Amino acid sequence: MICPICNRPLKSKKSIERGIGPVCAKKEQERENEPPEGQLSFTEETVLVIK
């Protein structure tokens, strides 16, 4: 079993059950907490105001 994100072998049983390594699992959770779409729309509004 290999982590699909970093291509490293999963050693622990929990990681194998998840199908993802512990470090990559934390990164995925951080992405869900901070969606990049909201930041993009904010910058787009700022550009419109400047114009």
Whether 1 contacts 10, CB under 8 Å: yes
Instruction: Map residues 17-46 to x or -, x wherever contact with Zn ion holds by CB under 5 A.
Output: ----x--x----------------------
Whether 3 contacts 15, CB under 8 Å: yes
Scanning 16-24, 29-37, 42-50 for contacts with Zn ion by CB under 5 A, the matching segment is 16-24
User: How many angstroms from the chain centroid is the CA of residue 48?
Assistant: 29
Instruction: Output 16 or 24, the one with its CB closest to Zn ion.
Output: 24
Question: Applying CB under 5 A, does 5 fall inside the site for Zn ion?
Answer: yes
